[in-house]
Amino acid sequence: MNGGTTSTVQQVTPELRQWIIAQAQAGHPAQTVLQSMKASGWDEDVATDALENTLRGHLDEQAVANGLSPAVPVPDAPLDESPLRVDAGDRIVDVLMEMHNPRVVVFGNLLSDEECEGLIALAQPRMKRSLTVATKTGGEELNDDRTSNGMFFQRGEAPLIARIEQRLAHLLNWPLENGEGLQVLQYGPGAEYKPHYDYFDPAEPGTPSILRRGGQRVGTVLMYLAEPEKGGGTLFPNVNLEVAPRRGNAVFFSYERPHPSTRTLHGGSPVIEGEKWIATKWLRERRFD
Ligand code: PD2
Ligand code: ZN
């Protein structure tokens, strides 16, 4: 290859970017491209960054050329070196599963049993049949696809809530102010949440008014507060993934554009026996005030 250098600061030139794209188009796996960059003198970290940024930029250019909106920055945990645990500020959280496309991470031990019980106790007196955002108008409506009971907290409304929000902001490197208030949902036997996307559909007439406050949703954290005996997993039908609703665990996923190409279609499968409680945190592009 060309473009190799042994100087202390290695520059990623347009020629190198072109070469990386040509390698990918020729079907060479990223690992092979990385090896040949290293063999010609590139520092491993510089080469890895150049490879990732170039390929991501190229995919984004193609997506935009095909009429999609550009990718925006999204929350994520620092999992580059495949750690088994990550520091969430006030708690060490386990990493149980990581997927890149769609971006899905399952965390263990995000919440203690006491925190799960505390959230349920705060939410219980305020539970009502769940509403969903009415995308036609930007208001809220009852929806047969969602047969749970629910409520919303204000951000920072109680010390327990503020603590969990701060933990999520630390874990996912995303400003606390960009989070919606926590939503708590309760599902009894038969209750489910049919597959949907959490971003707001740009084609719906109510969407511009929703986006004025904080922009698009770009990430979701579903935290399991109480586990049913059977059923109630969170499904990602595009990739045949089902996350078990274990108390204290959470599933995080992100979506860099409001489009099905993110493969973030997901649903809550029916509870078969027992009761499931979850808390959902939706993360926006910008401050959500
Ligand atoms: O309860 C779930 O598993 C679930 C599934 C899909 C919750 C949500 N979506 C949500 O709150 O957006
Ligand atoms: Zn959802």
- Every domain of the chain and the residues it spans: 14-65, 85-284
* Rounded-to-integer distance, Cα 191 and Cα 272, Å: 8
Residue of minimum CA distance from atom 6 in ligand 1: 267
Q: Which helix (H) or strand (E) holds 14?
A: helix 14-25
Residue of minimum CA distance from atom 12 in ligand 1: 198
Residue 8: predicted pLDDT: 59
Around ion ligand 2, which residues have CB less than 5 A away? Answer: 198
Query: Which is nearest to 153 in space by CA: 210, 101, 207, 223?
Result: 223
Closest ligand 1 atom number to CA of residue 276: 1
* Rounded-to-integer distance, Cα 16 and Cα 267, Å: 42
Residue 72: predicted pLDDT: 97
* Rounded-to-integer distance, Cα 25 and Cα 5, Å: 24
Q: Which helix (H) or strand (E) holds 165?
A: helix 159-172
Residue of minimum CA distance from atom 4 in ligand 1: 268
Instruction: State the Rg of the chain over Cα.
Output: 21
Residue 5: predicted pLDDT: 46
Residue 143: predicted pLDDT: 72
Phi, psi (rounded to 5 degrees) for 121 = -65, -40
Residue 167: predicted pLDDT: 99
Phi, psi (rounded to 5 degrees) for 19 = -65, -45
Given a cut of 70, the residues of the chain with pLDDT beneath it are 1-8, 133
Residue 7: predicted pLDDT: 47
Distance 241 CA to ligand 1 centre (A): 14
Closest ligand 1 atom number to CA of residue 148: 1
Query: Which is nearest to 157 in space by CA: 184, 187, 138?
Result: 184
Superfamily designation of domain 85-284:
q2cbj1_9rhob like domain (2.60.120.620)
Q: Which residues line ligand 1 (CB under 6 A)?
A: 185, 193, 198, 220, 222, 234, 266-268, 278, 280
Residue of minimum CA distance from atom 11 in ligand 1: 280
Residue of minimum CA distance from atom 2 in ligand 1: 268
Ligand nearest to the Cα of 237, by number? 1
Contacts of residue 7, Cβ cutoff 8 Å, sequence gap at least 6 = none
Distance 146 CA to ligand 1 centre (A): 9
* Rounded-to-integer distance, Cα 254 and Cα 76, Å: 8
Ligand nearest to the Cα of 255, by number? 2
Closest ligand 1 atom number to CA of residue 282: 12
